[in-house]
Every structure is written in C-alpha cells, then in structure tokens.
A and B are shown apart, each in its own frame.
Chain A
Amino acid sequence: DAKTTQPPSMDCAEGRAANLPCNHSTISGNEYVYWYRQIHSQGPQYIIHGLKNNETNEMASLIITEDRKSSTLILPHATLRDTAVYYCIVRVASGATNKLIFGTGTLLAVQP
C-alpha cells in the first residue's frame, strides 16, 4: 500500500469547519483513499472513501486533488464529539492484498 503523510495534530474551534490534509504522492491508479477516525477508547469508525472524484456523505466531504497525490477531509461543522484521531489510508478496493494499514493519523482537538 502507498504510504500517507498527515500532520500529527490539529486544533479546530467548535462550529467551524475542520480541514484535515493527507499526502499520498505514491498512490497507484487503482488505490482508493479511505478515512477512518478513532474516538478515545473505541474501535475505528469508517468515515468516507474516494477514488478521484470528490465525495460527500452525512459525516464529511472528501476532496481529492486532480493528480490524486493529496486529499482533504472536511468536517463542515465540527463539534466536541469530533475530537478523535483521524487516519488517511490508501489501498485497493478488493483482492487479497487490500489490507487496511494504519499510519499515525492526525489528532484533531475541537475546542469549545
């Protein structure tokens, strides 16, 4: 799997948008970008994924650059409950080698 680079930590004010960046400059053409988060003392939670188009769901938006070498996860109105470690992961969608390998992630602290 391609490696990703994320800032170790970020702060965000409650109610504001949180923009979490991720670099994946060695991503392959068949690899998707997945985002997960882990709230303290819980198992990781799936947020969103995409291949090359921007994606939006009820939790977040995913913006992928045209060259696919980086992406940004956007939480439009961060709340205190969004405080968590956010992981950006790239992998193929199916097949025997599509293991989900976690990096160190970004600790997002939402401040009141």
Chain B
Amino acid sequence: SAVISQKPSRDICQRGTSLTIQCQVDSQVTMMFWYRQQPGQSLTLIATANQGSEATYESGFVIDKFPISRPNLTFSTLTVSNMSPEDSSIYLCSVRLAGGPGEQYFGPGTRLTVT
C-alpha cells in the first residue's frame, strides 16, 4: 500500500488568488493523479501527473487553470489558479503502485473554499 499526505488539509481563499496543493507519497510510484470532488458529487479526474514531463489533462481541464508539477517519483503539486467560487471543492491526490494489480490509493484530500 501507499501512505499519501496532502497539504494543506483545508483552506479558505479569496476570489482571484491561487493555491498550490502538495501531495507527498511514502514510496516511489509510477503514476500520480489529481481529482476534484465538488460538493455532493462524485470524483472527477483532472489530470495525470507525469514525472519529468507535462501533465496529461482530461477534457474540460487546462494547464493554465490547473498547472501541475511532478519533480520526482514521490511528490506532486496542483495549483488552482485565479480562483472563483466554482472552484470550491475537495482536491484529491491519488497514486498507483508499480507492478501488482493496479490498485490505486487516495490521499485525504484538500478542502478548498473560495469566497
């Protein structure tokens, strides 16, 4: 398994500002993902964070709004840029370990409120 931590656990931000969320894993992983969960909704995949290259974004998500970094195999950041109240969500980091059946593990999430 993998232990995933996220910082911050929650934040309240003003409209127009940006927030960077950090994800740290206790072991080297091949794949890291970022998800968003809007209030009362299921999880939506934002992007796959690729080590050493640009992230791969899902339809409806763009790099200018959600820039992602992944400098090594245990760490990634997601920035929510130029925030609006519609960005209020829980943002979750997820990882998949190399080998094995492909189980995916999730961090505790970052609860973001934009005012």
Contact = CB atoms under 8 A, between A and B. Distances in A.
Contacts of A32: 101-102
Contact of B108 (A42, A46, A104): A42
Contacts, number: 44
Interface string B25-54: 000000001010000001111001000000
A49 interface: yes
B102 A99 contact: no
B106 A43 contact: yes
A45 B43 CA distance: 13
B83 interface: no
Interface string A50-94: 000000000000000000000000000000000001010000011
B80 interface: no
B88 interface: no
B103 A49 contact: yes
A85 B40 CA distance: 11
In this complex, the member of B4, B42, B107 whose beta carbon has the largest number of chain A beta carbons within 10 angstroms is B42
B55 interface: no
Closest 6 CB pairs of A and B: A43-B106, A102-B43, A93-B102, A102-B42, A46-B103, A44-B106
6 contacts: A46-B104, A49-B101, A98-B102, A101-B45, A102-B43, A102-B44
Interface of A: 32, 38, 42-46, 49, 85, 87, 93-94, 98-105
